[in-house]
Structure 1
Amino acid sequence: MTYLIYLFLGVFAGTLSGLFGIGGGLVIVPTLLFCFKYLGFSPEIAIHMAIGTSLSIIVVTATNSVYGHQKRKGIDWQVFKKIFFPLVIGTYFGGMISSKLSASFLEIVFSVYVVLVSIKMFLDVKVDKVQKETSLILYSFVGALIGFKSAILGIGGGTISIPFLSWRGFSMKKAVGVSAALGLPISIVGSISYIVSGLKVQGLPEHSLGYIYLPAFIGVIITSSFFAHIGAKLSHRLPQQKMKKGFAIFLSIVAIKMIFFS
């Protein structure tokens, strides 16, 4: 049953990655946490394993998502370059700090974050069509924030990068493309940090690489790669307003699930 859950999770994670430019961690982390607790993982390591495994899965979903968006010339690489280095630094420190936080605290932080993002997206569904000039300092600050938050929560960064780029006047399609590209360095650096920090921990489940649980990683990526391409195709066909509202609805569902059914 758990392996079937991993396969279905890959379908959702891949589609969301391509469609919304997010790594899918908002679905992957709570689902893996449920699976790991069901499998009898220690409560003190289950959330860290879910976050670390989520980041490793995002490496694959983000790669496929980037390929799909790049084929349609949907990625602004100049913006990506401005955010890249601060984002990598923020991701590294976020991953190292996360390994030292308690499991209960991480679960609370994850739930609250999803609620706040859901509310923000509902209150801000307007797409500003006038692109604003943005300083390198602002790009750097937001990049570091995206990386730090993503490593702690095990997500790809789209919940900050997409609203930020939309606020700066980028079209939803361009915002999704850049967000998808940013998910790649986030997931690579974040995965490395969770592997390194997890190697020092005793009593991890068999078939673990640090805080990454390899059976879950393999199960999810089997289906996620194909569906990331489908999501990327859909993102270039759907109207921007509907995409943004759909993103807000998706986040609200995750928020309700985390609060009432975790």
Structure 2
Amino acid sequence: MIDNALWLFAMCLALGSVVGLLAGMLGIGGGLVVVPALVWLLPKAGIESSLVMHIALATSLASIVLTSGSSARNHFRLGNVDFSIVKSLAPGVVVGGLGGSVIAELVPTELLPKIFAVIVLMLALQMLRSMRISRQGKMPGPIGTICSGGVIGVVSSLAGIGGGSLTVPYLNWHGVEMRRAIGCASLSGAMIAIAGMLGFIVAGVGDEALPSMSIGYVYLPALFGIVMTSMVTTRYGAALVSRLPTATLKKIFAVFLLFISMKMFLG
């Protein structure tokens, strides 16, 4: 079991380097990469198939807490974080993030990968659509923003993602410039991840089938491997944002989501 954990740790070091770059560049916590990667890696490390999806979601959210937090710090230094926007989204995303983890515990295990694949496909289509339509021009009122944040939180937690793939196009559609949208998404993503992670930890406590070195559904060898490298590479992704035009960022975002959705449906 120790050899399996060491192997998984090494693989997650490589995974984390990619996750950090994407987190900084696209404002995502990396869950769209981490979840499918862990679904493939965990069985090879001896994790029971019935636990794989829950562990993948929980560990992904735990890694996003640090990855998105690091990305948000770098974007703050670059002047890309608007705290008034983050404050308006915060109540909804926190409650929604916790709610998503509760729903995931109630859904049959075999349905979770399908739900994840559908969510990713919807995100890809939504982003492509946003490239063809004009902006609405302003943020909705407080109630509308809280409700929108709640939906983002539930979907994000249920898919083990930080919500950047929802928050970025949502903010951009409402007139927020792309770089600021990415910076705000990084900070709100950390909030979603904290709420979702806590929900999965509580749900997994007492499950004797979980491997050692687990806290609830969070598997520590995978988590440490991911965050050790992702927190280093996220600064390079954040720096790249300031050098790329908005249109290029949107194209990268849309292609990235399409690729992940296809891999999940095929795999």
TM more than 0.5: yes
Output aligned runs, 1:1-262, within 5 Å.
1-126=7-132, 128=134, 131-260=137-266, 262=267
**Would the aligned equivalents of 1:15 and 1:228 in 2 still touch at CA under 8 Å?**
yes
Contiguous gaps of at least 5 residues in structure 2? 1-6
* Conserved? CA contact 2:200–2:218, under 8 Å: yes
Instruction: Measure the CA separation in 1 of the matches of 2:231 and 2:57.
Output: 19
Q: Distance in 1 between matches of 2:29 and 2:179?
A: 16
Q: CA deviation at 1:171?
A: 1.0
**Per the alignment, in what secondary structure is the counterpart of residue 106 of structure 2?**
coil
Aligned to 2:3: none
Name the Cα RMSD after superposition: 1.4
Q: Structure 1 residues 127 and 246 mapped into 2: Cα distance closer, same or farther (>3 Å)?
A: farther
Distance 1:100 1:129 in 2: 37
CA distance in 2 between counterparts of 1:245 and 1:214 reads 34
Amino acid aligned to 1:66: A
Percent sequence identity is 34
* Contact map agreement 2:61 2:196 (CA 8 A) in 1: yes
CA distance in 2, matches of 1:127, 1:228: 30
2:43 maps to amino acid: K
Deviations 1:156-203 (A, max 9, x none): 001211111111111110110110010111111111111111003221
Code of the aligned partner of 2:86: F
Deviates more, 1:77-86 or 1:36-45: 36-45
Partner SS, residue 74 of structure 1: coil
Q: Tell me by how many angstroms 1:18 deviates.
A: 0.7
Q: Which amino acid aligns with 2:90?
A: F
TM-score (norm 2): 0.94
Q: Distance in 2 between matches of 1:125 and 1:190?
A: 30
Distance (Å, rounded) in 1 between the aligned partners of 2:210 and 2:90: 33
Measure how far apart 1:126 and its partner are.
4.8
With over 3 angstroms needed to count, the CA separation of the structure-2 counterparts of 1:136 and 1:148, relative to structure 1, is same
SS in 2 for 1:186: helix
The list of structure 1 runs, each at least 4 consecutive aligned residues, that deviate by more than 4 angstroms after superposition, is: 126-130
Give 3-state SS (helix, strand or coil) of 2:221's partner. Answer: helix
